[in-house]
Structure 1
């Protein structure tokens, strides 16, 4: 894509309106904005919008998509058959993405929806593995039932000794034996609640994957995708780390880097407006503003390498005299792009992308590239849907175009039998017990019939309450009431202890119910038939839907999160 600076647009002087997305609450319901049956028309509208872009944009799209299909087919073919996937290079592309982690079923639903929409529209389905995000701890929280008290609690099960802190594509598995036995450990913990978790089938693929690549994120993503193949899903995958190593990505990145002062100003202004609209005080959310240090401007990219895998921000300085763009992490890595407006500039940047100069896009830029260049329809999760509304504001002002719209979706799937375990009277019981405990301290007369409190004290309290003096002369009366209450409270110490014991037991039951009914459990602890049947019910429209969620209207295209799509 050649440079002429993008046309300037008028900046809004007030925060735009943003749409909120809420996770569905009931099992077997989903949030899909717009509705699933509108996906085909949305894709068609996006195609028309993208087709109207200038010729240099369309040339970049053709080049990028051709390389994307080839790279995704090569990558996917290393662990599952691709057969006819991506065979029609003229087919529309539907895309989604997430980190290579063991996420909850609401996130996994997006992969099934990706396959469903691609089949319905004759599109090629591609999932982006966001392996440039920093990996979390190498463990998952698994619910289990205590043998002693029967209450539900969480137990952490680790698949490696490493603690994360570097991008997923850099997280080598350090304890292979623990990784190989992870499924056994999960089954043992969850067995009191789930007899047949799908971790066993999933981890069969994970052990094969880790032997190929050695990295935890790679192994988990490939295992999930190979398992999806077993389930009949026809999708391709490609990691961000592979996607960024291409000439088309270098061209797109340079379109931002060589016009960075203007991008910088738009990015920060739009982010400030987003915070103002949402009442966000933290400067770190939804994304930090890009910084400036003298002639150096921070860019929305990361740099790292195999020898120093910690992510560092990208900084750019333009040497006007030498017509050279300096791209650096201001630590160990520096690349100089001569004549950055020339056709050869992208070749220079691409040539610099070695194992020690891993240039990766940050979240908002990742979806800019995915939505403007690579795909005709992008599927976000709730977090991505919230934050990519900010991305839309930046895109529309920097590139002077109308961004294609996206879909937002998530589902709620509870463990089998979880809904039957709900006991609404527990919360009522907790409130009653709290009131009774307070009564033992300040209204001991309420326990007169139990015989636990002296009748003389009850009579004294009643006499005081029947003869309340006027305001201003109540001090002596108040002291008498306080003394009687303290005496009754002392006599009710055993009653209060028993009520506190009952309160603690009720709280444990409430916590057990909350854990059991949570929608955040890792998908690998569920029976696969339960998950697939639930997803198919949602996708076919046969499940009961939360109408207040299904009827949310599309917002015109927006959003993504720093961590996940």
Structure 2
């Protein structure tokens, strides 16, 4: 493979701070160029993985994902398949199947907009290889002066496992979720979207599906009611495709080299972005004796704990293992995968053994094999700079560009906005009272002599020996004036305490991280549907 170095550069990406703010980088006006550039990359994909070119594998993968997405989406909502063209451009985004905040949801609306504008096919990947940690959302409640956060659960806690494996445990708790959210939120908001969303989730729960699927299907049906025409597909379906197995076998066959490129690129990313954390954006891949860690997860239907995957070379191929209990042989060699290895991976899946990509490889596979343009949020956009470097250095060509998209929506709860600067101004005034109290003194008779004495000191030009004495006189005069500014100091201290409380209120009520299901439709729908940002009026803000 032709290795071309590609330096990682620092990119500053920040979420919009104000309600209604959007980030789209690069601008939507450049998407036609991005799609054209992606097709140019396609022409460079004649690189072969064993006896298959990436271009051929990509064509097979795109057809598979299109058919699978139509079949999956058709299970719970109508899909108009007539205009779908297997040769059309595919635009994609993806996220965990959860009750995420509107900034994440905005990607789906941009996805639909781009598909309509560029006659493309829109597919949202449900990243079900990640784990569900907390089956609950945080909901603000209380009063405007003293708000608090409560955790409202939609299911009982369970052992942490991937979304793909997580099933609903407590249907009664799930069924009452919307009612409990509304009761908790009622001091602030009367008709949150959860009332529209949750009946569909309850209906979906009658089938034996993952908990994440119940939530994502309800959200996707709401999108359909709002006019969006996108397809959805769990990542697990993608990972069970033959093309993904070729991709997996290619990386496992060249794992020592891939691991070196992966780690070198990671350390370069951390250096450029001044990241000190050993786990951000991802931990390095490790070597344990002859075992090399690969960027995949391994688990089974009988043991759905997500474990790291390791591989080592043996005489007749490689062994893969979690270094605990699972160990499997594959006929994979350094010169690339073969049909026997692909069949072996299929048989492992038939036995309930699941190999799933980790974060970087998920979007790497999607961008190389599945789509012409991928839409990231800010977090994904940052770590995919690392993906770009790995693709360039391992496969020998540049990955297609991606779009970075997010928006900020805040709950329509009236509160005073307080910044750190507001509090800093009060603190500066308090400091002035201590060291320049004369600036706050009225023309009280007892203050005149003190102010005049300090004015004379200020006007002096002391020599070196007089400076210490002058400093002591300043301190004595400032101390003498303190009782005269006690009232002003107490007023400023009260104001500071009030602002500190209001800042806490503003931070809690003004967060952009609240779940989409807490918002009223009249606040959220116009913001999300107005992709270009021209007609949106701040509703309730």
- Give the TM-score band, short-chain normalised: 0.7 to 0.9
CA distance in 2, matches of 1:85, 1:185: 42
Equivalence for 1:230:
225
Deviations, residues 23-75 of structure 1 (Å, cap 9, x unaligned): 23443342222322332342233134314422622321232223222322332
Deviations, residues 347-403 of structure 1 (Å, cap 9, x unaligned): 101211257522110111111111111112211112212221211111112111232
Gaps of 5+ in 1: 1-6, 546-565
Contact residue 253 and residue 332 of structure 2 kept, 8 A: no
2:361 aligned with 1:365 = yes
State which of 19, 26, 51 in structure 2 corresponds to 1:34: 26
CA distance in 1, matches of 2:227, 2:422: 47
Structure 1 residues 431 and 298, CA gap change in structure 2 (3 angstroms): closer
Equivalence for 1:505:
498
Shift of 1:450: 10
State which of 328, 332, 349 in structure 1 corresponds to 2:325: 332
CA distance in 1, matches of 2:346, 2:29: 41
Contact residue 188 and residue 413 of structure 2 kept, 8 A: no
Shift of 1:264: 1.2
SS of alignment partner, residue 353 of structure 1: helix
Shift of 1:285: 1.9
Gaps of 5+ in 2: 47-51
2:370 aligned with 1:378 = no
CA distance in 2, matches of 1:39, 1:378: 11
CA distance in 1, matches of 2:203, 2:153: 18
- Cα RMSD of the aligned pairs, angstroms, is 3.2
Equivalence for 2:405:
409
Equivalence for 2:196:
201
Give 1:69-468 correspondences, 5 Å limit.
69-84=66-81, 87-144=84-141, 146-147=142-143, 150-162=145-157, 165-213=160-208, 215-319=210-314, 321=315, 323-340=316-333, 341-354=337-350, 356-416=352-412, 430-438=423-431, 441-442=434-435, 448-449=441-442, 455=446, 463=453, 466-467=456-457
Contact residue 441 and residue 485 of structure 2 kept, 8 A: no
Shift of 1:245: 1.7
TM-score by length of 2: 0.86
SS of alignment partner, residue 161 of structure 1: coil
CA distance in 1, matches of 2:159, 2:465: 65
Query: How many pairs align?
Result: 527
SS of alignment partner, residue 509 of structure 1: helix
Shift of 1:328: 0.9
Deviations, residues 456-475 of structure 1 (Å, cap 9, x unaligned): 8x856864674587544666
Deviations, residues 267-302 of structure 1 (Å, cap 9, x unaligned): 111112212211222232222221112211110111
CA distance in 1, matches of 2:19, 2:375: 21
State which of 9, 32, 48 in structure 1 corresponds to 2:3: 9
Shift of 1:236: 1.5
TM-score by length of 1: 0.83
Structure 1 residues 10 and 245, CA gap change in structure 2 (3 angstroms): closer
CA distance in 2, matches of 1:460, 1:379: 67
Structure 1 residues 128 and 450, CA gap change in structure 2 (3 angstroms): farther
Structure 1 residues 460 and 470, CA gap change in structure 2 (3 angstroms): farther
Shift of 1:253: 0.6
Shift of 1:531: 2.1
Shift of 1:254: 0.4
CA distance in 2, matches of 1:43, 1:310: 39
SS of alignment partner, residue 317 of structure 1: strand
Structure 1 residues 540 and 495, CA gap change in structure 2 (3 angstroms): closer
Structure 1 residues 402 and 11, CA gap change in structure 2 (3 angstroms): closer
Give 1:16-31 correspondences, 5 Å limit.
16-31=8-23
SS of alignment partner, residue 430 of structure 1: helix
